[in-house]
Amino acid sequence: MSTTAELLKGAAELFPGEVVTQAHVRHFDLPLGAGRFALITLDNGHDHTKPTTLGPQSLANIDAAIDQVEKEAADGEIVGVGVTGKPFIFAVGADLKGVELLKRHEDALAIGKGGHDVFKRLSKLAVPTFAYYNGAAMGGGVEIGLHCSYRTVSAALPAFSLPEVFLGLVPGWGGCTLLPNLIGAEKAVSVIIENSLNQNRQLKGKQVYELGIADALFEGADFLEQSLIWTASVLKGEITVERPAIDRGEAWDQAVAKGRFVADSKVHGAAPAAYRALDIIAAAKDGDLQKGYDAEDLALADLIMGGELRAGIYAFNLVQKRGKRPAGAPDKNLARPVTKVGVVGAGLMASQLALLFLRRLEVPVVLTDIDQERVDKGVGYVHAEIDKLLGKGRINQDKANRLKALVTGVLDKAEGFADADFIIEAVFEEMGVKQKVFAEVEAVAPAHAILATNTSSLSVTEMASKLKHPERVVGFHFFNPVAVLPLLEIVRGEQTDDASLATAFGVAKKLKKTAVLVKDAPAFVVNRILTRFMGEIQNVIDEGTPVEVAEKAVEPLGLPMSPLVLLELVGPAIGLHVSETLNRAFPDRFTVSPNLAAVVKAGKRGFYVYDSGKPELDPEVAALLKQGDSVLTEEQVRDRVLDAVAQEIGLMLDEGVVAEAQDIDLCLITGAGWPFHLGGITPYLDREGVSERVNGRRFLEAGVASVPA
């Protein structure tokens, strides 16, 4: 038994639940009389809904297949070796479930080394090797192909990526080293760093070819046949593959520098994966592959044993799994059909909601408002947005016609809502106004219609309290921009019944939103945490810490934007309003900043001016600020802010605002854009000991989003 086999056997024992991929070897004669060929098919025995992954036993199977073809190649029995996947899937990389189980650095090192040892053999066979990227290829799937002499790709391939950095790893089975040596550092950085950090952007088959990763592109209908005919031509010398020379000079360093800039702008130095990958890419410049592989092994092992990766996998699973099966949602069979939607209000928010319902549900949507001019403006907005979609080619003329015909505006609610099944209000954020609107709607709407409110902080229960049928009121809280942020907080009022709630979840699913069930508590989840977070920043500024120190203090978290830039995006007036609401609910923890009030009163839209291209404190704002004399360090600020957040989340869980800490994290990731490497926030608070310090307990059990004990 080779040492590779032993290594993989040991690794496989740590991962008994692996979905094992077989490496089938099949022989046949190539066309054009090019000779006998061995084709390895990677196949886990399931259909395409369970993509092929590469756990340790799977690697061992590939190793065994290579044993076979290596001998045949050496004996002159075959002229080449190919690798391809089952229908629609090439291979989507390492099995993350197995990675999560690893507890020791040496075991993590073995995974990296095991993959390298197996894949490297492909480049050392006595005959040329070919990868045929027939379907989805990610991570280790991409990398097995990079070790081959040649690659073809299907034009029908929907997704190709090295997503490791997105998850908190590096492409560590040759990706960081081989890709820049194949296509140059600039393109490699775009694939490994930029795509990963841009919501894990995927390449299509044509792009894989255009980037030079694949040597030939063939259409999906007869991809494998054409790949094999091409292979025969290459082997016979009728086709010579020419790849452009790689610039190993200054361009290489510039590409890496650009990668660092991208990483800084996305994670602000807070997550190590991108930087580790860039270090390896930088070192790959001299073409010393083995040195690169060793660096990959070490980086993989360090990252696997670090908290960011575990948080990244946790976050990935939250979004991919929990986000699709909301905790606490009632039986979906209770949901009522929604065949017409009413929107109360025709302002910007209401119009955006109308557009979203229209596009996703494709049912009639009727807008109402207090005068014809507003109604016309709302419908006009929707029409204009449909025209934009048409202009971009996102929809065709027939679809545009259909959507435009479905949206109408009326002044008379009785006329508009008499046959609506789901009516959502987006009127002024004041309890009296909302109660009045719902009373009017109830008077004209069918008895079964759901009344939904897009309130961000008012009590859903109170809003429903004066209705004849309060059981059909639900909170339906979207996040701005509605078309971009996936989160939808679905709020259950005290009297909301299961059928109404099930209908709300059904609608959310059709809207393609990530729905989280939330109790009717002040400001629900995201706004409550963000307000506490911002409030604490505001407090330390008010008490005397310079604005730039307060802002820099939270940079290591790698949030999508600094607190004051976020405040600017939300609008200082709205921020103030929410803090006042929460201050009324929890006066001991939520303060109303007099400085913020002053800024709002002065009509300022933000704290910064951008005249120099970078944010600088607006001198007019600076003049308004009245600060105390307590000056904290960045670290002290950070501790205070994180303590506040940990306390607030602890209280929210005690109050039952959501079912579990996982829902808090899902909300922050999908509603506030908090990064994967924080796992939302609770894995980070656990890892940094904040939870223990503030609440005396962790939010998540050890091993969940962290290295198991």
Q: Rule CB under 8 A: which of 360-379 touch another protein?
A: none
- Quick one: tokens of 540? 């330390």
Listed ranges 36-44, 285-293, 475-483, 611-619: which one lies at the site for another protein (CB under 8 A): 36-44
Task: State which residue, 27 or 50, has the beta carbon closest to another protein.
Answer: 27
Contact call for residues 440 and 422 (beta carbons, < 8 A): no
Nearer to another protein, 37 or 381 (CB): 37
Closer to another protein by Cβ: residue 222 or 430? 222
What residue spans of 124-222 are helical by DSSP H? 140-146, 164-167, 175-183, 185-189, 196-197, 205-210
- Residue 636 φ/ψ, nearest 5 degrees: -65, -40
Spatial distance between the Cα atoms of 597 and 603, rounded to a whole number of angstroms: 10
Distance in Å, CB of 45 to another protein, minimum: 8
Closer by beta carbon to another protein, 399 or else 469: 399
Measured in whole angstroms, the distance separating CA 22 from the mean position of its chain's CA atoms is 30
Q: Residue 694 Cβ, how far from another protein at the closest point, in Å?
A: 55
SS (H, E, C) 512-561: CCEEEEEECCCCCCHHHHHHHHHHHHHHHHHHCCCHHHHHHHCHHHCCCC
CA angle 129, 135, 138 (to 5 degrees): 80
Residue closer to another protein (CB basis): 84 or 670: 84
82-141 positions binding another protein, by CB under 8 A: 84, 86-87
* x/- letters, 202..221, toward another protein (CB under 8 A): -----------------x-x
Using CB under 8 A, which residues numbered 6 to 35 contact another protein? 22, 24-31
Residue from 210, 225, 247, 371 in contact with another protein (CB under 8 A): 225
Q: Nearest approach, Cβ of 82 to another protein (angstroms)?
A: 9
Question: In terms of CB distance, is 47 or 430 closer to another protein?
Answer: 47
Q: Are 209 and 222 in contact (CB under 8 A)?
A: no
Tokens 């994180």 sit on residue: 642
The contact mask relative to another protein for 628-667 (x = CB under 8 A, - = no) is: ----------------------------------------
Partners of 22 in the β-ladder: 43
3-state DSSP of 571-639: CHHHHHHHHHHHHHHCCCCCCCCHHHHHHHHCCCCCCEECCCCCCEECHHHHHHCCCCCCCCCHHHHHH
d(CA 10, CA 14) in angstroms, rounded, equals: 7
Burial class, 186, CB count within 10 angstroms (exposed 0-12 / middle 13-18 / buried 19+) = middle
Residue 705 tokens read as 């989003």
In single-letter form, the type of residue at position 544 comes to G
The residue within the footprint of another protein, chosen from 7, 12, 39, 170 (CB under 8 A), is 39
Q: Mask of contacts with another protein, 71-90, x by CB under 8 A?
A: -------------x-xx---
Between residues 153 and 704, which has the closer beta carbon with respect to another protein? 153
| Binding string, residues 493-512; x marks residues near another protein by CB under 8 A | --------------------
How near is the Cβ of 39 to another protein at its closest, in Å?
6
Minimum CB distance to another protein, residue 42 (Å): 9
- To another protein, the closest distance from the beta carbon of 20 in angstroms equals 14
What whole-number distance in Å separates Cα of residue 495 and Cα of residue 462? 10
46 binds another protein, rule: CB under 8 A: no
Cβ nearer to another protein, comparing 88 with 586: 88
Number of residues that bind another protein (CB under 8 A): 25
> Quick one: 31 or 347, whose CB is closer to another protein?
31
Q: How far apart are CA 67 and CA 48, in angstroms?
A: 28
Which residues form the interface with another protein (CB under 8 A)?
Answer: 22, 24-31, 37, 39-41, 43, 45, 84, 86-87, 219, 221-222, 224-225, 228-229
